[in-house]
């Protein structure tokens, strides 16, 4: 009997089947929650000790790393804290350079050139867990005594990886297309690692984006609403202070503790930019 191929399915059936397949990504991430937690604690520790985070990936995995790292500054006010390297460089963000992932030496070279140091942590992202570019970078990181992690969607084991996170997503809806479930799982994991480490490092207050960079009118208003909600100050007064200080945290400290802008900045710095400590202390 001739097998029916999915090309002949109607669109609604394909949408349903692909949605059902996508659930595997969430199940795979759920099975890895403990290891994600361990990695997140190490990332938080790295941040608190003045280190940086470097994502290293190729293809879809590399693009997901770039996406997550690029959102840290506007969301949490931390520039150059999370960094991302992708095989093939910036051009590979927009046009596939599949050959670039085959060089372990290039992974090492790119991490060196990025100024990676012993105090930093390298997090490799690889659907197969075997990408030479990623493994080369991780081996270099380990060789200088830095911490290493690998996020993989297949079971692997390496003696140069300190924190292995495996979220086995199984066969893809389109075989071999790791931009699907593997990509979804990787995005979920990076969301958790970066967001929760920033929460634990005091770059939020509860679930408020107190460190949001007010770089346009929408974000100025958002920051002002945060200040108003925290301190009880009228929105207009909060907005005026946000416009002046360019920082909702500073505006909030000034209002809550009756500080000058300089005093508020010094207090936040003294507390290691942990806003809840500065605000509640």
Q: Which residue has the tokens 């802008």?
A: 261
E strand intervals along 74-169: 82-86, 121-126, 147-152, 163-166
Calculated CA dihedral for residues 217, 220, 222, 227, nearest 10 degrees: -160
Q: Which one is catalytic: 101, 108, 172, 186?
A: 101
Question: Which candidate, 198, 215, 164, places its Cα nearest to that of 35?
Answer: 164
Judge whether 30 counts as a catalytic residue: no
Write b or e for each residue in 92-101: b if 16 or more Cβ atoms lie within 10 A of its Cβ, otherwise e.
beeeebeebb
Residue 101 bears catalytic tag: yes
Strands 147-152 and 163-166: parallel
By CB atoms closer than 10 A (0-12, 13-18, 19+), residue 30 is: exposed
One of 12, 30, 45, 71 is an active-site residue; which one? Answer: 71
Catalytically annotated residues: 71, 101
């Amino acid at each position: 009997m001739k097998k029916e191929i999915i090309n002949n399915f109607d669109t609604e059936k394909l949408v349903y089947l692909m949605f059902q397949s996508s659930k595997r990504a969430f199940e795979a991430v759920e099975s890895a929650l403990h290891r994600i937690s361990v990695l997140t604690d190490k990332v938080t520790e790295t941040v608190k000790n003045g280190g940086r985070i470097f994502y290293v990936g190729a293809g879809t995995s590399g693009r997901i790393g770039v996406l997550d790292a690029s959102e840290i500054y506007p969301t949490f006010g931390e520039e150059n804290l999370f960094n991302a390297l992708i095989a093939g460089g910036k051009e590979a963000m927009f046009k596939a350079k599949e050959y670039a992932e085959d060089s372990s030496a290039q992974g090492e070279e790119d991490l060196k050139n990025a100024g990676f140091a012993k105090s930093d942590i390298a997090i490799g992202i690889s659907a197969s867990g075997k990408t030479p570019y990623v493994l080369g970078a991780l081996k270099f990181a380990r060789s200088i005594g830095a911490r290493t992690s690998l996020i993989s969607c297949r079971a692997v084991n390496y003696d140069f990886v300190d924190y292995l996170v495996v979220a086995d997503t199984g066969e893809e809806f389109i075989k071999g297309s790791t931009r699907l479930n593997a990509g979804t799982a990787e995005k979920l994991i990076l969301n958790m690692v970066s967001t929760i480490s920033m929460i634990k490092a005091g770059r939020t207050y509860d679930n408020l984006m107190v460190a949001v960079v007010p770089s346009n009118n929408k974000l100025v208003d958002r920051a002002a609403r945060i200040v108003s909600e925290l301190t009880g100050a009228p929105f207009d007064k909060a907005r005026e202070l946000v416009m002046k200080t360019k920082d909702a945290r500073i505006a909030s400290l000034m209002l809550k503790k009756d500080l000058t802008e300089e005093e508020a900045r010094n207090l936040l710095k003294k507390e290691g930019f942990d806003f809840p400590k500065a605000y509640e202390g």
